[in-house]
Amino acid sequence: MAKNEGNQKTRGRCLCGQVEFEIQGDLRDVVNCHCSKCRKFHGNYGAYTSVKFENLKFIKQTGLKWFKSTTDETDNVRRGFCSECGSSLFWHPEDQPNIAIAAGSLDSPTDLKTIGHIWCSQIGDFYAIKDDLPQFGKRWSD
């Protein structure tokens, strides 16, 4: 778990700046999701950190739109993106306390590291995982 020590805040935004946010508190290190839906949403696998939803504050959300997305596991997921520039930003199972945030949307330095891969059972045929990090067929717990 990466830490935001003290009152330090992590900021992030979309490409055009119509969605800006701030995170207070602990961020989970990055997990790469290879599911077919993340690949469609991002154009490649999704690299996500995660935080308690209550620790995410929107500074500007003019362009923020939510798309209701079903998964192989649940039908209560929504994906947040900017309707102006198309940046894919969030993955949020509405009945869970955490929201996943696209790691690339965060301002550097993040002090995060990639810790593993999920949904490797759906990996795209145009790339290969070439690191020694843990790989899971579906969720982290599988």
More confident residue, 127 or 1: 127
Whole-angstrom distance, CA of residue 41 vs CA of residue 50? 17
pLDDT beyond 90 at 51: yes
Handedness of CA 112, 115, 118, 123 (dihedral sign): positive
Q: Which residue segments constitute the domains of the chain, with CATH numbers given?
A: 9-122 (2.170.150.70)
What is the overall mean pLDDT for the chain?
90
Question: Residue 19, class by beta-carbon neighbours within 10 Å (0-12 exposed, 13-18 middle, 19+ buried)?
Answer: buried
- Per-residue pLDDT tens digits for 83-133: 999 999 999 998 899 999 999 999 999 999 999 999 999 999 999 999 999
- Tokens read off for 24: 């207070």
pLDDT average, residue stretch 52-58: 96
DSSP H or E run through 39:
helix 36-42
Model pLDDT, residue 26: 84
DSSP string, 43-92: SS-EEEEEEEGGGEEEEEETTEEEEEE--SS-S-EEEEEETTT--EEEEE
pTM: 0.88
